[in-house]
Amino acid sequence: QVQLVESGGGLVQAGGSLRLSCAASGRTFSRYAMGWFRQAPGKEREFVATINWSGGRRYATDSVKDRFTISRSNAKNTVYLQMDRLKPEDTAVYYCAAGSSVRTGQADSEYDYWGQGTQVTVSS
């Protein structure tokens, strides 16, 4: 069992920045691909970004790719989501996920473990 714990969410004004962190408990963290998803009230869970086990391949959805950056530190068993130039439409609960057999990394079903989520609220 892998446990994931997100942190770094909060309230920020439009145009501001936040950095989310996701700490993993497993000693085999370096072999898991990682992803970030988000869910706004009344909406489906949405893919945000993914990163492969080595950190050499990264992908983010079009709505955030020019503003958000996913990264990881295998030494620290942690994945990050740097969010810049935040917009009110970024308001959501953000979830971290880990998977051992990830392909594109864009589908919920590719991931085996999920964190509890952290709230991000962007005021206008």
pLDDT at 31: 85
| Exposed / middle / buried, residue 61 (Cβ in 10 Å: 0-12, 13-18, 19+) | middle
Q: Considering only CA atoms, which of 12, 13, 70, 10 is closest in space to residue 37?
A: 70
More confident residue, 75 or 9: 9
Q: How many CA atoms lie within 13 A of 83 on its CB side?
A: 32
Q: Kindly report, residue by residue over 74-100, the tens digit of the pLDDT.
A: 888 899 999 999 999 999 999 999 999
- Whole-number percent of the chain with pLDDT over 90: 85
Q: Kindly report, residue by residue over 44-65, the tens digit of the pLDDT.
A: 999 999 999 888 899 999 999 9
